[in-house]
Amino acid sequence: MTDQPDLFRFELLATEGEARAGTFSTAHGLLHTPVYAPVGTQASVKAVTPRQLKEVGATLVLANTYHLYLRPGDELVACLGGVHTFMDWHGPMLTDSGGFQVFSLAGARGQKGLRTLDDDGVTFRSHIDGSTHRFTPERVMEIEQNLGADIAMVLDECAAPDNYDYSVQAMRRTHAWAERCKAAHSRPNQALFGIVQGGIFPDLREQSVRYLTDLDFPGYAIGGLSVGETKAQMLETLTVTAPLLPAHKPRYLMGVGTPEDLVEGVARGVDIFDCVLPTRVARNGQALLRTGKANLRNARFTEDPASLDPTCACYACQHFSRAYLRHLIIAGEILGATLLTIHNLHTMLTIMREIREAILAGGFADYRAAFWEARR
């Protein structure tokens, strides 16, 4: 299949409680876990260059299959050398299946009837031009293989997390689609991850883990979270689900989260995270700090000559005052979005690196306590 014998190997280097530090081997290099992936929805992490992304310490980048399928098209991306070359990110990359976007974006703008789900797949309308499209497990595999990320996700159905009957139905469909995805997937340098469903119900999560681990994917996502359940429900579901997954495979919590989520997710056994939050709130003027959050639109920053976070080594904190950053945000300057994105990503990636180092040194419990202490 490949001339890299260790490809997709997950090596566990240290554990502390459920927290794990490891490495995952991809065709674009070794991924050090736990890892947070910035989101490059349309093959661009919004407001930063790939060079800036590398400077803030990003190693894994996510791109969205739904968006790239619609624009510019996965075949075009393939013709141009795949998503890595297309967007000039030469480290590990991950694509979702597009399913979540189809369920949440497409046809969801007051036109629910335009998204039709059946056992074979889902028909939906583009949020760009209203044109009709269809995703099946096989079609999604074709698209993700065209995009060519290092990690691809199976098509799954994400149910309302607290509806048992719907969760059963969505889980069963997810399992059937996982099998079809696995059968349709053939790209040797791309790891296909399974997705565990089952809402907030431990018995369903256990069933789902059992079903999917039988299929022997090189990694597993814990899906259907951060979609409307409470934070306590999410953490409890992680607590019961993650330890059921095979220890020697990476575990990915999709679409999560905040700095707090990184710490608590890792504490429950998660290895991979992605979330648009740090980049999205940056564009609204919100900075992630060690002590919590700060909105630069707040008038108290008007004359503040200090850097955003005096302990932060990022370009924004090393060169600009809060007063200047606030001015940029208030004045609608693109540079405000860029500098806050740099800072927020740097903060997320630094926290993640500190977590990893803490686990390797056996000090994660202390790190976690200090993390929460700083936010009291």
Among the listed residues 261, 271, 274, 309, the single catalytic one is 274
Which range binds a copy of itself by CB under 8 A, 177-185, 289-297, 330-338, 344-352?
330-338
What minimum distance in Å lies between the beta carbon of 253 and a copy of itself? Answer: 26
Asked if 321 touches a copy of itself (CB under 8 A), the answer is yes
Asked if 46 touches a copy of itself (CB under 8 A), the answer is yes
119 carries an active-site annotation: no
Among the listed residues 96, 150, 156, 309, the single catalytic one is 96
Q: Cis before residue 130, ω within 30 degrees of 0?
A: no
Give the span between the Cα atoms of 172 and 156, in whole angstroms: 10
Q: Which is nearer to a copy of itself, 257 or 336 (CB)?
A: 336
Beta bridge partners of 21: 14
- Sheet containing 220-222: which strands, arranged edge to edge? 35-37, 272-274, 251-253, 220-222, 191-196, 151-153, 93-95, 61-63
Q: Of the candidates 18, 142, 179, 333, which one interacts with a copy of itself according to CB under 8 A?
A: 333
CB 238 within 8 A of CB 222: yes
What minimum distance in Å lies between the beta carbon of 276 and a copy of itself? Answer: 14
x/- letters, 128..167, toward a copy of itself (CB under 8 A):
----------------------------------------
Give the span between the Cα atoms of 149 and 37, in whole angstroms: 13
The residues, any chain, with a CB within 8 Å of residue 281's CB and separated by 6 or more, are 288, 293, 344
Asked if 126 touches a copy of itself (CB under 8 A), the answer is no
Asked if 320 touches a copy of itself (CB under 8 A), the answer is yes
Give the span between the Cα atoms of 336 and 326, in whole angstroms: 8
SS3 148: coil
Which range binds a copy of itself by CB under 8 A, 75-83, 95-103, 211-219, 261-269?
75-83
CB 66 within 8 A of CB 115: no
CA neighbours closer than 13 Å in the CB half-sphere of residue 353: 11
Asked if 233 touches a copy of itself (CB under 8 A), the answer is no
Q: Of the candidates 339, 340, 345, 359, which one interacts with a copy of itself according to CB under 8 A?
A: 339
Residue ranges of the alpha helices (H) in the chain? 50-55, 65-70, 74-79, 83-87, 99-104, 137-147, 164-184, 202-215, 231-241, 259-267, 277-283, 315-319, 322-330, 334-360, 364-374
96 carries an active-site annotation: yes
Asked if 360 touches a copy of itself (CB under 8 A), the answer is no
What minimum distance in Å lies between the beta carbon of 143 and a copy of itself? Answer: 16
Which range binds a copy of itself by CB under 8 A, 111-119, 169-177, 206-214, 316-324?
316-324
Asked if 335 touches a copy of itself (CB under 8 A), the answer is yes
What minimum distance in Å lies between the beta carbon of 129 and a copy of itself? Answer: 12
Asked if 58 touches a copy of itself (CB under 8 A), the answer is no
Show the CA angle centred on residue 176, arms to residues 175 and 178, nearest 5°.
65
Residue 295 has φ and ψ, to the nearest 5°, of -100, 115
Q: Of the candidates 13, 76, 313, 361, which one interacts with a copy of itself according to CB under 8 A?
A: 76
A 10 A CB-CB count for 218 gives 18
Q: Of the candidates 50, 98, 99, 218, which one interacts with a copy of itself according to CB under 8 A?
A: 50
Q: Of the candidates 15, 44, 189, 213, which one interacts with a copy of itself according to CB under 8 A?
A: 44
Q: By CB under 8 A, what part of segment 289-308 binds a copy of itself?
A: 302-303, 305
Beta bridge partners of 252: 221, 272
Residue 60 has φ and ψ, to the nearest 5°, of -115, 135
Give the span between the Cα atoms of 85 and 91, in whole angstroms: 10
Asked if 170 touches a copy of itself (CB under 8 A), the answer is no
Q: By CB under 8 A, what part of segment 86-105 binds a copy of itself?
A: 86-88
Residue 11 has φ and ψ, to the nearest 5°, of -105, 125
Q: Which residues are catalytic?
A: 96, 274
Residues that bind a copy of itself (CB under 8 A): 42-44, 46-51, 71-72, 76, 79-81, 86-88, 302-303, 305, 315, 319-321, 323-324, 326-328, 330-331, 333-339
